[in-house]
Amino acid sequence: MASTSYRVTAVPPIRRLAPGESLNRDDFRQSISVLGLKIPASRTTEFMKYLKLKGSLLQLPKVKTVEQVEGEDDTRILLLDFYSTDSLPEDISEIVKRNQLDVVPHPVELDYSYWTAEEVLKSTLPESLLEDMPTAFTMMGHLAHVNLREEYLPYKYLFGQVILDKNKGLRSVVNKTDNIDTTFRFFKMETIAGETDTMVEVNESGCTFRFDFAKVYWNSRLGTEHERLVSIFQPNDLIADVFAGVGPFAIPAARNNCLVFANDLNPASAEYLAQNCQENRVQERVRVTNLDGREFIKSSVLEAIDRPFVNVRPIQSSKQRARQARLKQTVKEEPVQRAIAHYVMNLPALALEFLDAFPDAFRPSERSKDIKEVYGARGMPMVQCHCFTRELDPQQAEADILERAQRSLGHPISSPSFHYVRRVAPNKDMYCMSFRLPSTILD
């Protein structure tokens, strides 16, 4: 048998670019001469099956292995995974001889569209930048977002153009130019390819979100965490989302028949949150506010007691509505909830610090009796608090988070649970700490 070293491979041409130099797609044209087996068109399936079993068909990704012959409608060419007849295995040579087939050279033409984004970048960037070359980006509708390190900034337009070229449906590529704004949770960005259009539409958890990515915070990598947390909530739970953004927790929770107080300090986030509630038809189940997180926490307890959701009917599927109409059943209003079941605190850089607002929220002197009556019967709320830690060992990470949480809350926390979300930097992990507020804060 012939050595597999004779098998056909394709490597993109090397064309190292200087900083700011434009990409020339014609540089990536390449012609590879392979062997072709001329066969009767009527026997194509027969020969393909045999050659595939023998592993002799051309194995270049995205390249067809059957070609028509111009002017010969009854003939096909099967492309083989060999450059020359010297490398043909004996059993393939025997098939050729027995069936009196012709083996001919056949060109395989490759161009820029053939190569992946990673292959193009590795062929054009300086060799010194290849080892840790960034390849990840996040997509939001028509927009891709990259976060290029300083050493790659001279080639930012190259990255933008390649990402745009290689991902159908994209119209814009932006690069982060600053850290997240700690007040309103968005970052400055610049367009490095395509249109300057940051209004996007994202579908997640069966919901549609529209927003201006340049004005609000959104992270598509947290989709799984959004779904995980929403799945914990029970229908008719009252949720208080302290840092709600444009609604990735609040709106899916409302669609699952929860009731939600949804707050964000960023006016743009609150505006898009309200619009997204309308878009997803949950405006009766979500109350949007634009407050500081501490102010929201402190006001939320009495807001639930004094101004609960009333006259709210459950969200039903079309089948449920049709069945009730057929049986002439009346849709019952949901029971009034005056106790918050969960607080969601998805501001990992700062959320632990906001725990200091809970003692004041649960013990205003003039209303302490009302609050004890509500939460004595229902039980204290759960807190779902996202946070960062520099401790990479899980046990040390949990100890670090718990210590900081208790210090901020000013009370011991019993039986917390920790969910690892993701690594956000080489020395920084994101967790979600879940715990029940201690009843001692009522005293």
Q: What is the DSSP secondary-structure string of 183-214?
A: TT----EEEEEE----EEEEEETTEEEEEETT
Q: How confident is the model at residue 1 (pLDDT cuts 50, 70, 90)?
A: very low
pLDDT: is 73 or 409 the higher one? 409
Q: In what order do the strands lie in the sheet with 382-389?
A: 286-289, 259-263, 238-241, 342-345, 382-389, 428-436, 417-425
pLDDT for 177 equals: 84
pLDDT for 35 equals: 94
Q: How confident is the model at residue 4 (pLDDT cuts 50, 70, 90)?
A: very low
Q: Which of 113-122, 146-155, 323-332, 353-362 has the lowest mean pLDDT?
A: 323-332
Residue 184 in this model has a pLDDT that exceeds 70: no
pLDDT for 391 equals: 97
Question: Using the 8-state DSSP alphabet, how is residue 57 labeled?
Answer: B
Residue 3 in this model has a pLDDT that exceeds 50: no
Helix (H) and strand (E) counts in the chain: 12, 17
pLDDT for 255 equals: 96
pLDDT for 318 equals: 63
- Total residues belonging to the chain: 443
pLDDT for 363 equals: 85
The mean pLDDT value for 94-114 works out to 94
Tokens of 235: 């229908």
CA 321 to chain CA centroid, nearest Å: 33
Q: How confident is the model at residue 330 (pLDDT cuts 50, 70, 90)?
A: low
